[in-house]
Amino acid sequence: MTRIDESSDGRRVTVSVRGLVKHYGETKALDGVDLDVREGTVMGVLGPNGAGKTTLVRILSTLITPDAGEAMVAGYDVVRQPRQLRRVIGLTGQYASVDEKLPGWENLYMIGRLLDLSRKDARARADELLERFSLTDAAKRPASTYSGGMRRRLDLAASMIGRPQVLFLDEPTTGLDPRTRNEVWDEVKAMVGEGVTVLLTTQYMEEAEQLASELTVVDRGKVVAAGRIEELKARVGGRTLRIRPVDPLQLGPLAAMLDELGITGLATTTVDRENNTLLVPILSDEQLTAVVGAVTARGITISSIVTELPSLDEVFLSLTGHRASAPQDITPADSDSDAREEVAV
């Protein structure tokens, strides 16, 4: 069997998944999933409820076995080498994994001991991680008294005890308020900074954008899109050009001129008075060039010009035909093209 161990940028592939299948009766939780996570990077696995995210994380962390396909983590096969594999991974499940009755410190100490650390090392590691996740003050209190954010931080600390090479985070911020979510993001970023390879599942586009460099979009057990986040957004097609003339009085004439020229086809430009910018929908680099050329030809001085890609929400809608946040509103498959047009225009 041949296996590609290096990706195009030379980074080693740390997590490799090929044709992974897991059925529960009639439900195809995973229906042939492929993905690669490169060493030291964050792969976001984005999908609505029921997409198969937790099933994937459970297989990769050896909690369940696949029906077909294969998966390697840090060089170990999930089915044939589960014991070796468990030693190099950390897992933060979708639901809290700590013992609520025990204080934060005890939880971490106990996990350290379970991982074969000596009493001294387990103690030191618990202290160090509580400090690191800003939980030192709450060290002696039962975890049941912690806020949602503190609990999540304790979960993350627990998953770091064994100094994992690979970390699986299953919906790490679901149910957290925005401020706490930001705290968790900062912690994840810090872990990545230490060289940990992360596979993170999420239902939040913003979370994937914040943390992941690559994205695998899953829907009903299948990969519906994959690639670098920027590439995926570009694939949807539509972009908006945001132009700011030095003189705000030029906004109106500029909009009229661009509409008259018809460079952007049927789509019309809009004036954003609040920001003194002009929003021009474009579909191609040629249109972008033509717009810039037209503005320059009129001698209008512009202070900034940026292109904005569509949000991941729009990406998901156009790729799957339904919004990620409302999996129950499943639209017929043939409505896909309508959704794509909506986003592009």
Ligand X SMILES: Nc1ncnc2c1ncn2[C@@H]1O[C@H](COP(=O)(O)OP(=O)(O)O)[C@@H](O)[C@H]1O
Which residues of the chain form contacts with ligand X (CB under 6 A)?
24, 27, 29, 47, 49-55
Largest CA distance in the chain: 76
For the bound state, the minimum distance from the C-beta of residue 270 to ligand X, rounded and expressed in Å, comes to 37
Residue (59 or 278) nearer to ligand X, CB:
59
Residue (44 or 245) nearer to Mg ion, CB:
44
Q: What is the identity of the amino acid at 107?
A: N
For the bound state, the minimum distance from the C-beta of residue 65 to ligand X, rounded and expressed in Å, comes to 13
**DSSP conformation letters of 224-244:** EEEEEHHHHHHHT--EEEEEE
Residue (49 or 81) nearer to Mg ion, CB:
49
Residue 24 interacts, among Mg ion, ligand X, none and using kind-specific CB cut-offs from 5 to 8 Å, with ligand X
**How large is the C-alpha radius of gyration of the chain?**
24
For the bound state, the minimum distance from the C-beta of residue 93 to Mg ion, rounded and expressed in Å, comes to 9
Q: Is 12 exposed, middle or buried (0-12, 13-18, 19+ CB in 10 A)?
A: middle
Residue (47 or 321) nearer to ligand X, CB:
47
Binding residues for Mg ion, rule CB under 5 A, total: 3
Residue (48 or 164) nearer to Mg ion, CB:
48
For the bound state, the minimum distance from the C-beta of residue 2 to Mg ion, rounded and expressed in Å, comes to 33
For the bound state, the minimum distance from the C-beta of residue 145 to Mg ion, rounded and expressed in Å, comes to 26
For the bound state, the minimum distance from the C-beta of residue 266 to ligand X, rounded and expressed in Å, comes to 38
> 253-264 burial, b for 16+ CB within 10 Å, e for fewer?
ebbebbeeeebb
54: contact with Mg ion by CB under 5 A: yes
If we measure between CA atoms, which residue out of 68, 337, 72, 325 comes closest to residue 219?
Answer: 325
Beta bridge partners of 281: 240
Q: How far apart are CA 326 and CA 303, in angstroms?
A: 40
- Number of Cβ within 10 Å of residue 275's Cβ equals 11
Residues from 80 through 109 that contact Mg ion (CB under 5 A): 94
- Which of 48-56, 80-88, 156-164, 315-323 is the region at the interface with Mg ion (rule: CB under 5 A)? 48-56
Residue (7 or 94) nearer to Mg ion, CB:
94
Residue 27 interacts, among ligand X, Mg ion, none and using kind-specific CB cut-offs from 5 to 8 Å, with ligand X
Strand order in the sheet with 239-245: 270-272, 277-282, 239-245, 302-308
Residues engaged in binding Mg ion (CB under 5 A): 53-54, 94
